[in-house]
Amino acid sequence: MLRIFAGIALPESLRERLAGLRAGLQDARWVEPQDYHVTLKFIGEVDEGTAEDLDAALAAVRGTPPAIAIEGVGWFESRNRVRAVWAGVAPDDPLSALRDRIEMAVAQAGGPAETRKFKPHVTLARLKRAPLAAVRPYLQAHDGLRLTPFTPPSFQLFRSHLGKKGAHYEVIADYPLAPGRDGPNG
């Protein structure tokens, strides 16, 4: 079984800038800089045959390359406890359109439908049920984060390897985007 998702890998320059935020949170499990990405569609566990079908469907996705602008920091919580801290991605119509095309391609290939609202971000750290009050100073310190936008030439299919120190991600396919190709599949 493969645990997979579609996303956009970050360029080295942005990974280096975000790596500078890897301090100031007690008991945080920091994401390794080489694993920074923007998830477009979490697919989950699939067998090799389904992964091949998904690869073929994703290879047909086209669209205008989005502008990825990392702005500010935020958090996800569960039961009033912070479980992850992230760098935000500014709203972008081509990014939302690409995400929708990927969602349709995955559904046509028999993959799962998304139930959560799309909130583009780059996960920086995972926490074990930290109270918001303990995380607030970090959030306030980095709220003004603004990185130079980049335009990715492609999106990727990642494989997630789970381990004791957290997940590690491997790019298993790369799908080029084409400017101005916003027809039925892009």
Structure tokens at 78: 């569960």
Structure tokens at 131: 């109270």
| 121 part of the active site | yes
Amino acid at 118: F
Q: What's the 3-state SS for 163-174?
A: ECCEEEEEEEEE
CA distances from 183 to 9, 60, 102 (A): 24, 11, 14
38, 121 in Cβ contact below 8 A? yes
- From the list 37, 48, 31, the residue with the least C-alpha distance to 6 is 37
Q: Pick the catalytic residue from 37, 142, 161, 168.
A: 37
Helices 48-59 and 93-108 sit at what angle, rounded to 10 degrees?
A: 140
Q: Catalytic positions, please?
A: 37, 121
